[in-house]
Copies of this chain bind each other. A is one copy, B any other.
Amino acid sequence: MASLTPSCCLFLLCTWLGVSLVCPQITYETYYFDQKIDHFGFYEDSTFKQRYLVCDSHWKTPNGPILFYTGNEGDITLFSNNTGFMWDVAEELRAMLVFAEHRYYGESMPFGNLSYSEPKYLNYLTSEQALADFAVLIRFFKESGDAKHSPVIAIGGSYGGMLAAWLRMKYPHVVVGALAASAPVWQFENLVPCNLYYQIVTNDFKKSGAGCAESVTKSWAAINRMGETDDGIKWLSLAFHLCSPLKGKEDVTAMKSWLIETWVNLAMVDYPYPASFLEPLPAWPIKEVCKHLRNPKLEDKALLQNIFEAINVYYNYTGDTSCLNISQNAVGSLGDLGWSYQACTEMVMPVCADGVTDMFEPQTWDFDSYSDDCYKLWGVRPRKSWITSQYGGRNISAASNILFSNGDLDPWSAGGVKQSLSDSLVAILISDGAHHLDLRSNNAYDPKSVIQARALEVAYMKKWIKQYGEQSHVQGV
């Protein structure tokens, strides 16, 4: 396969190594594969174009491996551009890189512009269909061209990490192993305590500056008091430079949700160097945020003024943002609409807060009201037990060759596998690591933990590749 050089990628993957700006030659070609819209039924027999990106410049036939990114909820270029790890190890592993886009995201729309228009068109947005897409695409790779003898390794982060793990569990004949980075495969039902998630966020703030978490804790009551009067609501809109002024108490509630999401996202991307995964941010962004939140004992307006300055680190690090929009999704380029549907169907991940062990207002997990909200929003109801019935919950010891990596700063590590379950179901813990830090490019500011994690990941991959070679030799495949 020939190669193109998309300029977007060159820019995003440049990283500072010591004093040098290193820009690995990242080139890929874009392809489209005809996938069945419905793998699990025959009444809807149409196909759609699934986008995937391929870089084979380091690939050595006849048995160089394929590193296959199991695309998650977003445009696949977002993940190819933020998974520097794969680009970094391609040469050493003599690997082809493939980034497969998840259906209903980016350009991979089963019903074109209609895909999100009605529940009947959204019906094929499930993890099972996505895994089947990957399995069928990998088979196509193995049967066409020179990849017949190439072992395939699934790699993904976050939901993509869940997909990588599940692909190995459900389709072990297509991938020899999986790296599931920051994959909260156990954030379902009651597999983990629902308040762990917010506790981790809180701990990140606690250790990033004195008074920081406490300031956030106090902010909710302050906002509530302001929200009791029209003047207070007006003040909030001005103080937070909101693009659309709050119109009443409901908007104040929405503003609080937006703040919660922002604190959570900061915890996810608390990387040790400047990065632009969700938003452009400085190194250790929570530390920057906490510089504004040193005094939790201020009176309401002064405290909330500081909260605004803190939030501004997240939304306006570049200084280009003239106003803040609480209805804008907090995660920039991710496909929030699709994820909202997935969360309202399969991906029911209970979270709760108690306001004591965490810095948030108490918030119970109420499935019934969650379900009602989903029905209003999407016309479908979530099934809270389905994911564990399908993928096994905690009982996954029959699987093999899966690496579960988790960083301790990452709220999603709450639902991660943090203890090895067997010799080949291996937990890798990354201290000072945020959301799938290990999947990012090498960086001079990487903590030692992530350097070790990546080395271990590569060692396991080499082991799987070797095993595959030995097995193929025996079987004459």
Contacts and interface: CB of A to CB of B under 8 A. Distances in A.
A422 to B, nearest CB: 11
Contacts of A36: 383
B40 A129 contact: yes
A40 B40 contact: yes
Given A132-B390, A139-B389, A383 B173 contact: no
Interface in A370-385: 380-383, 385
A40 B126 contact: yes
A43 B396 CA distance: 29
A172 B398 contact: yes
A173 B397 CA distance: 8
SS of A interface (majority): loop
A43 B119 contact: yes
Interface in A338-359: 345-346
A102 to B, nearest CB: 16
Given A40-B40, A42-B381, A172 B392 contact: yes
Nearest to A124: B41
B172 A128 contact: no
A447 interface: no
Given A36-B383, A42-B119, A173-B398, 8 more contacts: A39-B386, A39-B390, A40-B129, A42-B126, A42-B383, A132-B389, A135-B390, A172-B399
A188 to B, nearest CB: 13
B172 A42 contact: no
25 contacts: A39-B386, A40-B126, A40-B129, A41-B124, A41-B126, A42-B119, A42-B345, A42-B346, A42-B380, A42-B382, A43-B119, A44-B123, A45-B380, A132-B389, A132-B390, A135-B389, A135-B390, A136-B389, A172-B398, A172-B399, A173-B392, A173-B393, A173-B395, A173-B398, A397-B471
A150 interface: no
A60 interface: no
A36 B384 CA distance: 13
A122 interface: yes
A400 interface: yes
A382 B36 CA distance: 13
Contacts of A241: none
Given A172-B399, A395-B173, A41 B389 contact: no
A396 B475 CA distance: 13
The copy count of this chain in the complex is 2
Interface residues of A, number: 43
A43 B136 CA distance: 24
Contacts of A39: 386, 390
A170 interface: yes
A389 B45 CA distance: 17
A473 interface: no
Contact of A396 (B119, B124, B173): B173
B43 A122 contact: yes
A171 interface: yes
A123 B172 contact: no
A120 interface: yes
Of listed A41, A346, A380, A393, residue having the most chain B CB within 10 A: A41
A128 B171 CA distance: 13
A103 B123 CA distance: 21
A324 B132 CA distance: 46
Nearest to A139: B389
A389 B40 CA distance: 12
Contacts of A386: 39
A391 to B, nearest CB: 8
Given A41-B123, A43-B122, A170 B173 contact: no
Interface in A424-477: 471
Contacts of A345: 42
A392 to B, nearest CB: 4
Nearest to A477: B395
Contacts of A172: 392, 398-399
Interface in A14-50: 36, 39-45
A381 B43 contact: no
A205 B173 CA distance: 38
A122 B383 CA distance: 23
A172 to B, nearest CB: 3
